[in-house]
Amino acid sequence: MGQQQLLLLVLAVIIVGTSIVVGIGIFNKNAEKSNIDMVVNEVVELGSVAHQYYLKPTSMGGGDQKFTGLTLDYLTGGKDSPIGTQISLSVIDSATVEITGDCGLAKKSSGQPIEVVCTVTPDDIQTEVKY
């Protein structure tokens, strides 16, 4: 082989290697973003169930305009998260509930999982991703 052919071969190997590394990085970022989106969807769905609980009368298994008495088992139906998210419920007062979900794949710079917090009030459901 001539010197030009070897140079082109080395250049091609460098370009292919760089492309693979960049592709893996893009794939990992996309997987993290997808994980955050799935957790947001799950937490908002549970927030909707909590809001339904608030609106239902006690005779129908609801809270009768209160969140007190709401449990995580009521929200999830006693089932684990389908995507493996750790979910926690905090009843702040009779009119406010926080549902928190941990993203397993997506991590903060400290190494802790990114949290998604859904705050449910009688009039609103707000979601915040804590990076």
Q: What is the pLDDT of residues 13-41, one digit of tens each?
A: 999 999 999 999 999 999 999 999 999 99
Q: What is the pLDDT of residues 36-77, one digit of tens each?
A: 999 999 999 999 999 999 999 999 999 999 999 999 999 998
The residue with tokens 């609103």 is 124
> CA–CA separation, 80 vs 19, rounded Å?
39
Mean of pLDDT values over 72-98:
91
> CA–CA separation, 77 vs 100, rounded Å?
17
pLDDT of residue 1: 67
Name the DSSP letter for residue 59.
Answer: G
Domain spans of the chain?
3-130
Q: Any residues with CB less than 8 A from the CB of 62 and at least 6 apart, and which?
A: 52, 53, 54, 55, 56
What residues pair up with 127 in beta bridges, in sequence order? 118
